[in-house]
Each structure stands twice: as C-alpha cells, then as structure tokens.
Amino acid sequence: MIQKPKGTYDVYGDYSKKIKYFEKLINSLMEKYNYEYIRTPLFESSDLFHRGVGETSDIVTKETYDFKDKGDRNLTLRPEGTAGVVRSFIENKMYSNSLLNKFWYYGPMYRYERPQKGRYREFYQFGVEAFGSSDPMMDAEVISIPVNLFKLLGLKEITVHINTLGDIESRNNYREALKKHFKPYLSELCDDCNNRFLKNPLRILDCKVDCDHSCIKSAPKISEYLNEESKNHFENVKKYLDSMGINYVVDESIVRGLDYYTHTVFEVEAKVEGFGSQNVLCGGGRYNDLVKTLDGPEIPGVGFALGLERLFTALEYENIDISEKINLDVFIIPICEEAKTKAVKYLNVLRMNGFNVDMDFLGRNLKNNLKTLEKINPKFVMIIGEEEINSGVLTLKNNETHEEYKVENENLIYFLDSNIEGE
Ligand code: AMP
C-alpha cells in the first residue's frame, strides 16, 4: 500500500474540526484587526528564498525542497511565508497607495527537516506582514495578534519573549564584536558556525550543535551595542506592550533563524513539558531592509508566523478541545417514509436560516439512529413521525440535557434562535 510521505499527515475527524474552528477564528480576528488576506504560490523561484531568507539560515542551506521544472527553472517549495508575501507586495506595486499595507496568510510550508514530535516536513503557518510603518506601535500591534489569539483559544501557559537586534549600524557593530569574540574558538566550533562566522556571526548564537559551548554563553550582548535610535525604538515597543496589558520578558538569546530581522524580534513560548525547543509557538520581528533587499522600495515591515501543529499540541497539553466548538445544531431523524419529505424540507429551510443541520440518510430505525447520536453530537435532535406530520407540532430533544420540547411548525426558527447560542 502506498503511504503518505515522511513528515506529513492527513487531516480528518476531530483534527479536521479543530482546524475548521481555528480557521474561523483567525478569519474573524484578522477582520477585527483590519488585515487583508493574501495568498501567494506554494512554490517560488529558488532565488527568492536564497536572497530573502538568507544564505546562512538552516532553512535555506539545508532544509528547502528544491526542484527543476520541465522548463529547467529552479523552483523551491516555500519554507516560510514572508519572502513570498514581500515578493508579491513588490511585484504588484501594492505600496503605490501610500497606505499602511497589512496582510495575513495561512497555508502549508515545506522544510526538509528530521521529522519528530512538533516538527514536520509539511506544516501549516498562520502569519501576518505589515508594511509601511516603522513606528514601534506597529511592532506592538503585531505582537498582540498571537497573544490575543492564544487568549481567545483559552491558552494560559504562554510567555512572550522579546529582544532587539537594533538597526543596521548597531547590528554591524555587534557583528564585529562577535567576530572578535568567536575568532579564538573557531577550531572548536562546528563547520556551519565557521561558515556563519564569515557570513553572519549572529547566527552562531542560534546554533543547535554548539549551543552548550562556553563561548556562546560568554558572547557579548546586543544591548551593549545599540545606538540611541535602536534603544528608543525598543523602549517604545515595551511601552506600547505595557499599555496594551501584554506581559513579556526581555530575552537577549533570541536572534531568530532568519537573516532579515532588524530591531524587534520576538517568540511566544508555551509551557509544554518534554517538548524542548519545540515549545516555540510563534516567532517574528521587524525587517526594515527586506523589501529593499528584494529589489523593492525602502519600506519597513514587521510580521510573525505561527505554527498550527505546535499550537494544537499546546492546547492538548492544557486540556482545551476546540473540536467541540464545531457542532451540528440539529440532526433530523425521519421515522417513516412520509416523514422524509418533511425532513428534507426542514433540512433546507434551517440551513438557509443559518443553522448547521444534517439528517439521517441511511434509512436507519430510531433505535439505531439514537445509538450514534453521541458521535454526531448535535445540539438538538428533531424526530419526525406520523404524529408530528398530523399535528403540525414538532418534537425536539436537547441532546445534552435530554429535555424534550414540543414546537409548533411555524415557531421552529424562533425556538432554535432562542435556544442555540450564536457566534
Ligand atoms: P519560523 O518560520 O522558523 O520562525 O517558525 C515559526 C513557527 O512555525 C514556529 O514557531 C513553529 O511553531 C512553526 N514551525 C517551524 N518549523 C516547523 C516544522 N518543521 N514543523 C512544524 N512547525 C514548524
């Protein structure tokens, strides 16, 4: 039997309900935040990721799915969402409206990683990119999105970690200081770190192989190399987060895996024991030079990406089952041939009135239908038999409390409206 590729998974059952609820939630949240939905291709020119995400990040050097198409073009399955959104922003000249452009995306990403719990080769990310404002208020707004999303989902055990990498000047000074610091240890560091030393020494701080080496712990801190402007920016981000009531910790170890960040970087961690470094639910930051690097105008940006699979694990860990939020309102059971005509009528009318409704299509008797109700889990069961047809009074049963209601035909919508909580 042919099996699914390594590092991928199928979505069905409760997981599918969880996803449906999550998608509804991000749709409505992003509407509230006034962000526009953007969708870019699953594959892009390989160059986009190599230039955009950076030549020293593991994601690009080791983990991309690269291939040639029949026209001999070098293409790559997107390993992350930002580069594609920036490419689209530039290519479609979206900046020409001189407004703030705020986008959100949601979809699969591909990385050739060693599959393990919380790490897949095909995984889903929800993310945002806000272009046009270099105001620290924008950084705070972007950080508030995952924080509010986690709050809406009911997660309690999360921590926001923030740091700054400063502007280009501060980063360059820091780079030099790191080079000076790491030079004597190069022979003790891995090959990748030796490469990073030449191209982007900041990334040595992020190395999974050398993370326990004493020279990493004793490395200079970015905070010692920030110029006034960078310090101000960071202080203001913190001020606005305070004002929004968002708790955070400043964590100088965060440098983020991608090369394009400037100023604010952040990660949101969930407390999931035994999950190691994979308890990072989302990460992001400001990238003031990425649009220009990809041949666009000088426009600042800030964004984040959140991994769906890890979020779901964190929810499980806190015993939050969002699959329960996707429910049928009514399940109709016709118990005689004649009742089928009425059942399909109500099925249609109720659906068009905004209720989630299904019925028995298997022609099962009442007993067998009732047996499966626990699985189907509707809020109300509507049983239609001869009595209901003759009297014009319907029988509805609350599936949780088992309370029975007699409802006149013409009052059905009113009854359901008043007894089913709207969203
Ligand atoms: P990154 O784009 O590496 O900053 O990752 C952002 C978020 O995507 C992480 O915090 C994870 O939640 C998620 N993520 C990254 N890589 C994977 C993966 N291989 N499998 C599942 N989730 C991932």
Q: What is the domain partition of the chain in residue ranges?
A: 13-167+227-317, 330-419
Atom of ligand 1 nearest to the CA of 280: 10
Atom of ligand 1 nearest to the CA of 256: 4
Q: Over 70: is that where the pLDDT of 57 sits?
A: no
Res 272: pLDDT: 78
Task: Say if residues 50 and 75 touch (Cβ distance below 8 Å).
Answer: no
Select from 98, 132, 112, 143 the least CA-distant residue to 49.
Answer: 112
Res 252: pLDDT: 87
Of 9, 22, 123, the residue with max ligand 1 atoms within 8 A of its CB, to mutate for a pocket test, comes to 123
Res 195: pLDDT: 83
Give me ligand 1 centre to Cα 57, in Å: 14
pLDDT digits (tens, 9 = 90+) for 247-259: 999 998 887 756 6
Look at strands 101-110 and 249-250 and give their pairing.
Answer: unpaired
* Atom 3 in ligand 1: residue holding the nearest Cα: 257
Mean pLDDT of 199-207: 81
* Atom 8 in ligand 1: residue holding the nearest Cα: 307
Give me ligand 1 centre to Cα 31, in Å: 24
| Half-sphere exposure in the Cβ direction for 116 (13 Å, CA) | 8
Atom of ligand 1 nearest to the CA of 80: 2
Q: Over 90: is that where the pLDDT of 99 sits?
A: no
Q: Over 80: is that where the pLDDT of 208 sits?
A: no
Res 422: pLDDT: 61
pLDDT digits (tens, 9 = 90+) for 312-326: 999 998 999 998 888
Q: Which residue has the higher pLDDT, 49 or 404?
A: 404
* Atom 18 in ligand 1: residue holding the nearest Cα: 119
pLDDT digits (tens, 9 = 90+) for 358-393: 999 998 888 888 888 888 889 999 999 999 999 999
Cβ neighbours for 329, distance < 8 A, ≥ 6 positions apart: 350, 355, 356, 357, 378, 379, 380, 416, 420
Res 33: pLDDT: 97
Structure tokens at 330: 């009514």
Q: Over 80: is that where the pLDDT of 235 sits?
A: yes
Question: What is the CATH architecture assignment of 13-167+227-317?
Answer: 2-Layer Sandwich (3.30)
Give me ligand 1 centre to Cα 118, in Å: 9
Give me ligand 1 centre to Cα 269, in Å: 12
pLDDT digits (tens, 9 = 90+) for 38-51: 999 999 999 998 87
pLDDT digits (tens, 9 = 90+) for 277-315: 678 999 999 999 889 988 999 999 999 999 999 999 999
Percent of the chain at pLDDT > 90 equals 67
Q: Which residue has the higher pLDDT, 208 or 416?
A: 416
Of 310, 312, 313, 315, the residue with max ligand 1 atoms within 8 A of its CB, to mutate for a pocket test, comes to 310
* Start-end of H helices in 109-161: 136-153
Q: Over 70: is that where the pLDDT of 162 sits?
A: yes
Assign domain 330-419 to its CATH superfamily: Anticodon-binding domain (3.40.50.800)
3-state secondary structure 350-382: HHHCCCCEEECCCCCCHHHHHHCHHHHCEEEEE
Give me ligand 1 centre to Cα 39, in Å: 19
Q: Over 90: is that where the pLDDT of 116 sits?
A: no
Q: Over 90: is that where the pLDDT of 123 sits?
A: yes
Of 158, 279, 282, 290, the residue with max ligand 1 atoms within 8 A of its CB, to mutate for a pocket test, comes to 282
Atom of ligand 1 nearest to the CA of 308: 12
Q: Over 80: is that where the pLDDT of 348 sits?
A: yes
* Atom 2 in ligand 1: residue holding the nearest Cα: 80
Of 259, 261, 306, 315, the residue with max ligand 1 atoms within 8 A of its CB, to mutate for a pocket test, comes to 306
pLDDT-based confidence at residue 138 (cuts at 50, 70, 90): very high
Which residues sit with their C-beta closer than 6 Å to ligand 1?
A: 80, 111, 113, 119-120, 123, 125, 257, 280-283, 305, 307, 309-310
Res 207: pLDDT: 78
Alpha-carbon span 406 to 29, nearest angstrom: 38
